[in-house]
Structure 1
Amino acid sequence: MDLGLKGRKAILVGASHGIGLATAKVLAGEGCDIALCSRSQESVDAAVAAVGQAGGKVVGGAVDVMDGPAHSAWIAQAADQLGGCDIFIPFTSTNTGVDDEAGWRAVFEADLLPLQRGVQAALPFLQKSDAASIVTISSTAALEEFMGPGAYNALKAAVINYTAALAQKHAPQGIRANCISPGPIEMEGRAWDQIKGAMPDFYKGILAQIPTGRMGSGEEVARAIAFVASPACRFMTGANLLIDGGFTKGVQY
């Protein structure tokens, strides 16, 4: 299937590692031009080099997404460097695991607020695209109780709600908005890889709850993101797509 991504312009925030980097590689492999950012220039340089191997134009910048003006300015700069923006995907997130005001504020300021700010900064460029797409990243932790009360779970639920509202508001402008909710995804050096070594019993307990018998890979999530973001998926908007191997037990109606 031709996803229609060749020559499209994608701005990815916080895509120097994990699912973000995997997505950048998949999109580049499909012919997208990519702009990505991260907090450190070293991470950006490594990501640009890795994504560049897939082909296409790749540019990067070091930016702290909690610095509002710098974050918005980088998105505008990235759109200028690419010659527009067809796809906007913010990946920045954090989980303090602490259920107090400071923990909630940290997740809000590193996850939900940069998402809203980034979308607003990208909208003027998306409005000029004939196949504009916003893809947000939530989590299965937003859908069921998981490890007790906490900001991460609640604010990832807010991401799903915000995305649905974006879809309704901007559909008349030809801008789609969809959400991806990954379940346990194991990638080298990332959270579940670390948990596997530090908390083996907990890791095995989660693994036992996944009907497919394994955790997902970053590339599997990235491929789904690429399809949802692509012109091949023009009629999907306002959706929340689970990629979890059956980990979430709720029925989707």
Structure 2
Amino acid sequence: MDLKLAGMSALVTGGTKGIGRAIVETLLQEGVNVSFCARNQSEIDETLQSLQSRFSQKIFGMQADVGDASELNKWVLSSAEYLGGIDLVVSNVSALSIGTDEESWKKGFDIDVMGSVRFIEYAMPWLKKSKAASIVTISSVSGREIDFAAGPYGSFKASLIHYTQGLAYQLAGQNIRANTVSPGNTYFPGGVWNQIEEGNPQLFKESLALNPTGRMGTPQEMANAVVFLSSPAASFITGTNLVVDGALTRGVQF
């Protein structure tokens, strides 16, 4: 299937590792010009070097904390200038905040919620000019079912689904689509589940046993869903929450 993405321009938050890195690489494979941000400059430099050695289109990376409004806005403005516009945005960064103290709630709100809201608002002038604009926010299965991440993480991931579906309705007349992808447990070296496997093997074992596939997902499997929803091939899909979890969750979506 031709996703009709070649020549478009995309911005991805948190693009140096895990799901974000897989999204960046998959977009590049489809011929998209891509900008990504992250907080760690050395990881940005490594990612840029690796990607530029394999892809010929425009690739831009910049240090930015999505919880810092000024840094986030600077990255969006710089990206739009470098790429020549913005067609697609993927809000991927999460604070992964599972504590129950007030600071955990504040951190989750600032990064997961306001990081997404500001990102989309800053990109909106260019999205309105695009002929095939798309917004994808990354939620989680924890946003639709109660699990060990109930608290700030699950609450704010649920709010992202509501926020994004609201955008879909509000922006439909302007030809801007908005969807959410909710990954299930996703394993990759250095990721949260790799850390849990090493630091809390009992929780890892119990979590793995919940999935009838017998395994966790991969960043590439999550990226495939994000890139499809972002593409003109999904032109009549807006306001949906695509769960990618290998049948982990049991709640029925109507």
Q: TM-score interval w.r.t. the shorter chain?
A: over 0.9
* Counterpart in the other structure of 2:112: 111
* Counterpart in the other structure of 2:38: 38
Once the two structures are TM-superposed, the CA of residue 54 in structure 1 deviates from its matched residue by 3.9
Closer, same or farther: CA 30–200 of 1 in aligned 2, 3 Å: same
Contact 2:19 2:222 in 1 (8 A): yes
* Counterpart in the other structure of 1:162: 163
* Counterpart in the other structure of 1:5: 5
Counterpart secondary structure, 2:167: helix
The normalised TM-score by structure 2 is: 0.97
Contact 1:210 1:245 in 2 (8 A): yes
Kindly provide the CA deviation profile for residues 69-90 of structure 1, in whole angstroms up to 9, marking residues without a partner as x: 2211210110110011110011
In structure 2, C-alpha distance between the alignment counterparts of 1:105 and 1:195, rounded to whole Å: 23
* Counterpart in the other structure of 1:237: 238
* Counterpart in the other structure of 2:207: 206
- The sequence identity of aligned pairs, in percent, is 40
Q: Which runs of 4+ in 1 moved over 6 A?
A: none
The normalised TM-score by structure 1 is: 0.97
Closer, same or farther: CA 33–196 of 1 in aligned 2, 3 Å: same
In structure 2, C-alpha distance between the alignment counterparts of 1:30 and 1:247, rounded to whole Å: 29
* Within-5 A mapping of 1:186-197: 186-197=187-198
Contact 1:90 1:137 in 2 (8 A): yes
Kindly provide the CA deviation profile for residues 36-89 of structure 1, in whole angstroms up to 9, marking residues without a partner as x: 111122111112223332442211111122221221121011011001111001
In structure 2, C-alpha distance between the alignment counterparts of 1:89 and 1:135, rounded to whole Å: 5
Kindly provide the CA deviation profile for residues 192-239 of structure 1, in whole angstroms up to 9, marking residues without a partner as x: 111112222211111111111110100011111110000110000000
AA aligned opposite 2:145: E
* Counterpart in the other structure of 2:103: 102
In structure 2, C-alpha distance between the alignment counterparts of 1:44 and 1:149, rounded to whole Å: 31
In structure 2, C-alpha distance between the alignment counterparts of 1:87 and 1:145, rounded to whole Å: 31
* Within-5 A mapping of 1:65-214: 65-147=66-148, 149-214=150-215
In structure 1, C-alpha distance between the alignment counterparts of 2:228 and 2:92, rounded to whole Å: 17
Q: In structure 2, list runs of 5 or more residues that go unmatched.
A: none
Q: In structure 1, list runs of 5 or more residues that go unmatched.
A: none
CA-based RMSD of the aligned residues comes to 1.1
* Counterpart in the other structure of 2:19: 19
Counterpart secondary structure, 1:178: strand
Contact 1:163 1:177 in 2 (8 A): yes
In structure 1, C-alpha distance between the alignment counterparts of 2:181 and 2:124, rounded to whole Å: 20
Once the two structures are TM-superposed, the CA of residue 149 in structure 1 deviates from its matched residue by 3.8
AA aligned opposite 1:145: I
Aligned residues: 253
Once the two structures are TM-superposed, the CA of residue 148 in structure 1 deviates from its matched residue by 6.1
Closer, same or farther: CA 243–149 of 1 in aligned 2, 3 Å: closer
Kindly provide the CA deviation profile for residues 93-138 of structure 1, in whole angstroms up to 9, marking residues without a partner as x: 1123211211100111121111000000001000110000000000
Closer, same or farther: CA 30–148 of 1 in aligned 2, 3 Å: closer
Contact 1:29 1:55 in 2 (8 A): no
Indicate yes or no: 2:249 matched with 1:251. Answer: no
Closer, same or farther: CA 148–196 of 1 in aligned 2, 3 Å: closer
AA aligned opposite 2:71: A
In structure 2, C-alpha distance between the alignment counterparts of 1:86 and 1:183, rounded to whole Å: 27
